[in-house]
């Protein structure tokens, strides 16, 4: 968008300069070059750290006193000043337009009816996210009846210009995902260790949320995953390795195991203010003996 606005504004300025040149006050040698010079002078910017000053236009006001085609030359310098302000405003507008929230319809607000891969496909298509985007910080909370109360995660996409982070939040009331994106620079240290979003959602669809839900004695069931490839070595905890539709229980003798971890747990009403969980069960996929 930045490029489009810049090209459009430049075209408008060229047209205005040509129009005013044709309606010049009097004939003057090399006038075309002069009005271009006045425009460039008006647009000249002097930067001190993050502060940009319209030094060119200040020089024009202090030291230039044209005697011929005065209005045309002043007009050219003013257009340069307008371009100076545009250089300050356009990046902010472009950033706002890029980061503005998008809404994408979800299929269901019921945990066991949700097709994660289908919703991911719709989000990817709507936001034009590259197919190999990674996922991190997944968290879903839902009642025993399946009603989703919270569903959030982050997507990280690698582009030629650096990484883009997408913050995704699902609203159970509207059945819509709200996606906000931002450029996050040229480095994302853990990127190569994060799971592909498509693979993560494929696994969720395979295991079915209802199959990993805790007994309905609790107020909320929770699924969380940081999405990062990990060396898992927690002993004396219910742990399973997921291989397609089959689950294999992990014993202490099998540890450590490298893989991606999805944690299932639950909270009661009295645990609403607590950060902890009860009845923790962990599931590893794409796992291998470490």
What is the rounded distance in angstroms from the CA atom of residue 62 to the CA atom of residue 55?
11
Which stretches of 106-229 are assigned E, i.e. beta strand?
134-142, 148-159, 162-171, 176-183, 195-196, 220-225
d(CA 59, CA 226): 56
DSSP-assigned letter for residue 268: -
3-state secondary structure of 90: helix
The pair phi, psi for residue 82, each rounded to 5°, is: -60, -40
Q: Count other C-beta atoms under 10 Å from residue 49's C-beta.
A: 5
Query: Which residue from 15, 79, 19 is spatially nearest to 44, judged by alpha carbons?
Result: 79
124-175 pLDDT, tens digit per residue, is 999 999 999 999 999 999 988 889 999 999 999 998 888 999 999 999 999 9
**222 CB-side CA count, 13 A:** 21
257: nearest Cα among 226, 282, 276, 278: 282
Residue with tokens 């498509």, as numbered in its chain: 198
Between 22-36, 52-66, 201-215, the lowest mean confidence (pLDDT) is in: 201-215
| pLDDT 10s digits, 213-270 | 765 666 788 999 999 999 999 988 899 998 877 788 888 888 999 999 999 988 776 5
pLDDT score for 247: 84
When pLDDT is cut at 50, 70 and 90, the band that residue 50 belongs to is confident
């Amino acid at each position: 968008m930045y490029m489009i606005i810049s090209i459009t504004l430049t075209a408008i300025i060229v047209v205005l300069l040509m129009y005013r040149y044709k309606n010049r006050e009097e004939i003057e040698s090399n006038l075309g070059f002069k009005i271009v010079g006045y425009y460039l002078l008006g647009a000249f910017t002097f930067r001190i750290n993050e502060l940009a000053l319209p030094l060119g236009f200040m020089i024009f006001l202090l030291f230039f006193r044209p005697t011929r085609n005065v209005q045309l030359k002043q007009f050219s310098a003013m257009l340069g000043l307008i371009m100076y302000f545009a250089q300050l405003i356009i990046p902010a507008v472009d950033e706002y337009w890029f980061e503005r929230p998008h809404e994408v319809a979800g299929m269901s607000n019921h945990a066991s009816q949700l097709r994660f891969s289908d919703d991911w496909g719709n989000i990817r298509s709507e936001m034009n996210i590259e197919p190999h985007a990674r996922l991190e910080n997944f968290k879903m909370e839902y009642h025993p009846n399946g009603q989703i109360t919270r569903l959030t995660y982050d997507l990280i996409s690698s582009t030629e210009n650096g990484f883009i982070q997408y913050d995704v939040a699902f609203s159970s009331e509207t059945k819509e995902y709200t996606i906000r994106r931002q450029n996050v620079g040229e480095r994302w240290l853990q990127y190569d260790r994060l799971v592909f979003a498509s693979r993560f959602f494929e696994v969720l669809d395979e295991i079915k949320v209802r199959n990993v839900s805790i007994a309905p004695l609790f107020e909320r069931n929770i699924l969380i995953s940081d999405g990062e490839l990990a060396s898992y070595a927690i002993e004396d905890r219910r742990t399973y390795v997921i291989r397609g539709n089959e689950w294999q229980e992990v014993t202490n003798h099998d540890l450590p195991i490298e893989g991606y971890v999805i944690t299932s747990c639950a909270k009661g009403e009295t645990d609403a203010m607590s950060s902890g969980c009860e009845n923790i069960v962990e599931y590893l996929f794409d796992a291998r003996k470490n």
